[in-house]
Every structure is written in C-alpha cells, then in structure tokens.
Amino acid sequence: MEVIRGKDSEARRGERFTGTAWVGTPLKAQRPAGMRVFLVFFEPGARTHWHVHEGEQTLYVVAGTGRVQKSGDPGREIGPGDIVYIAPGEKHWHGAGPQNSLLHLAVTTGGDTVWMEEVTGDAYTKDFN
C-alpha cells in the first residue's frame, strides 16, 4: 500500500496544453504500465493538445463544463458526473469550455502518452453537442 499526501497543484502550460491547467498530486504508476491518476483543473479556454494514450483512459468530470473530441468526430460537451472512456490509440483532446472551467479526474493505464499538435481555435469552437 502507498499513501500519497496531497500538496498544492502545479500549473501546466506550453508543450501539452493551451492555456493553463492545474494538476494535483498524481498517483504515478506503481508497476510497469500501471494505472496513473491525475486530478486536473482547466481554466476557461484551457485544453490539452491532441494526444494518444497507448493504454486506456477514463475521465470523470467532477465539476464545471468542458469539451472532449475524438479525431474525426464532432466534439462533445461534458459536465459533472459524466464519464469519458478513451480506447488505446484514439487521438483526442479534453479541456474546459471557452467560458467555463473544468475539473476532471483522469485514470490512465498502460504505456506512454504521445503528445501532438495544438487544438486550433476552429476545432475548439465548432460542432459541439
């Protein structure tokens, strides 16, 4: 058993995010390709770049309103209590809505995350449901 004490969130910007996201103390993988858990707060307009997880990812929305999109599909709006399952290899992004913040828990298994290009303003704002 491991108990990992919480501490202040750290800001993430730049290579992997547009805008500012705050990442709380993570659970790092405890074994090769093991589960990782992150609590992420996205300021309004903040979102990840496009990326792919080699393993699975589940997002659980704790608070706020956000957006998620799989490459080639329309974006989806997400809110408190929503769960998003992302299969291995699916190119996607997730983040806050333009006017709202988003708090989600992310549980990821298996292997690395491959980071890609920024989500452009067009892709971020059109075709949400």
CB 108 within 8 A of CB 55: yes
Q: Nearest residue to Mn ion, using CB?
A: 57
Q: How far is the CB of 5 from Mn ion (least distance, A)?
A: 26
Q: How far is the CB of 111 from Mn ion (least distance, A)?
A: 13
Tokens 């992004």 belong to which residue? Answer: 93
Site string for Mn ion, 4-43 (x = CB under 5 A): ----------------------------------------
Residue with Cβ nearer Mn ion (2 or 79): 79
Subset of 39-68 contacting Mn ion (CB under 5 A) = 57
Radius of gyration, CA atoms only, the chain: 14
Q: What is the DSSP letter of 71?
A: T
Backbone angles phi and psi of 37, in degrees to 5: -130, 130
Residue with Cβ nearer Mn ion (53 or 65): 53
Query: Which amino acid makes up residue 83?
Result: I
Host H or E run for residue 63: strand 57-64
Would you call 123 helix, strand, or coil by DSSP? helix
Say how many residues touch Mn ion, by CB under 5 A. 1
Residue with Cβ nearer Mn ion (57 or 69): 57
Cβ atoms < 10 Å from Cβ of 63: 14
Q: How far is the CB of 51 from Mn ion (least distance, A)?
A: 6
Residue with Cβ nearer Mn ion (2 or 72): 72
Binding site for Mn ion (CB under 5 A): 57
